[in-house]
Amino acid sequence: MEKWLGLLNRHIRSVKKPDEAADAYADIHMGFVWIHPFFDGNGRMARLLANLPVLKAGYPPILIPMRKRREYLLCLSRYSLEASPPPSGTRPSFRSTSRSHVSGNFAKNYGKTPSPW
């Protein structure tokens, strides 16, 4: 837990660019799920915590649209099956999915250019 909190704090301090925001989201989300592995009740908290550095950097939160929920859950499952190393070893497939959601949110909320609050 202490290691994960350090990761969260580093990401909150350092995220500046969209790809960094997506990577931070993936690292934090998967790291939290890894240490809080409950079938029900950890998804909302994981997404909330994972969005902290994204929001702090001035970007819109990463929201998973219902039509993409299945893809998102499959990606999480693949990560869980493939992965041994949590946060720093976040799999590229999950990072790619996070990045696409970040990009979609930027386009939807801000047009092509992300804008801080």
How much of the chain exceeds pLDDT 70, in percent? 59
Q: What is the pLDDT at residue 41?
A: 61
Helix (H, G, I), strand (E, B), or coil: what is residue 74? helix
Residue 38, domain member (yes or no): yes
Which residue ranges are tagged as binding site for ATP? Answer: 40-47
Total domains, the chain: 1
What is residue 114's DSSP assignment?
A: -
Can you say which residues are annotated as belonging to the binding site? 40-47
Contact criterion met (CB below 8 Å) for 112 and 106: yes
Look at residue 63 and tell me whether its pLDDT is greater than 90. Answer: no
In a domain, 116, yes or no: no
For 64, the domain range is 2-110
Q: Is residue 117 domain-resident? A: no
Instruction: Classify residue 13: in a domain, yes or no.
Output: yes
Active site residue 36: yes
Provide the whole-model pTM. 0.66
The predicted model gives 54-61 an average pLDDT of 90
- The reported pLDDT for the residue numbered 99 is 60
